[in-house]
Chains A and B, each alone.
Chain A
Amino acid sequence: SQQGEEDPQALSIQEGENATMNCSYKTSINNLQWYRQNSGRGLVHLILIRSNEREKHSGRLRVTLDTSKKSSSLLITASRAADTASYFCATEVPSGTYKYIFGTGTRLKVLA
């Protein structure tokens, strides 16, 4: 069973607009990562935010983390057609395992 739930499940926007997707999880975490998956390149790591961080930026990506609400958001600014993909959050659980828990994903479509 998966821990993370992404919201929305699907999102369609025009090129140049911003895209925001959210991830909620259930237990305490060490860190949270966001990945992108498309048919051309498979799963690619985008950004990692640690549990003691609240916000992180990387290029056009902005990630926030609210551990009190057990949620994270990924903002993609000035979207491009090439951003069309599924986006997953993955949480590292501070337990005795090496398990990463992936969410169900948000399918983003950017229209040119």
Chain B
Amino acid sequence: GAGVSQSPRYKVAKRGQDVALRCDPISGHVSLFWYQQALGQGPEFLTYFQNEAQLDKSGLPSDRFFAERPEGSVSTLKIQRTQQEDSAVYLCASSLVSTPRSNEQFFGPGTRLTVL
């Protein structure tokens, strides 16, 4: 496709359930970011991949959050034992170059996660 796609667009989970969120970046984009956006707030950085290497996971809020990009394209963000405070929109962004600094990020539409 022409842009970054994410699935599912909406996810409702019961507290304690595990969820997996998928991101398909723009083909050929080396850099991939995950962000968490709470209602009324700006996106907060979670993690960054360069190809298949996870170079920065400093924003992951707990060890219940895990991200992977095994073949350097599609990425999955997994949240184990979901809690209500995990409710947010999860955004994926990709960037063409291997050096993401000073480069435009292309964002997907996000996955809205609601934990009951």
Contacts and interface: CB of A to CB of B under 8 A. Distances in A.
A26 to B, nearest CB: 14
Contacts of A105: 40-42
Contacts of A2: 41-42, 44
A30 B102 contact: yes
B104 interface: yes
Interface residues of B, number: 26
B25 interface: no
Contact of B58 (A31, A42, A97): A97
Contacts of B28: none
Interface stretch (B68-76, B80-88, B105-113): B105-113
A48 B102 contact: yes
A99 B59 contact: yes
Nearest to B93: A43
A45 interface: yes
A44 B107 contact: yes
A-B pairs with the 9 shortest C-beta distances?
A102-B42, A43-B107, A98-B48, A45-B104, A99-B45, A98-B56, A102-B43, A42-B109, A88-B42
A65 to B, nearest CB: 14
How many A residues touch the partner, as a band?
Answer: 20 to 34
Given A98-B55, A100-B33, 8 more contacts: A30-B102, A43-B91, A48-B104, A92-B101, A99-B56, A101-B45, A104-B41, A105-B42
9 contacts: A2-B42, A42-B108, A43-B107, A45-B104, A90-B42, A92-B102, A97-B48, A98-B100, A105-B41
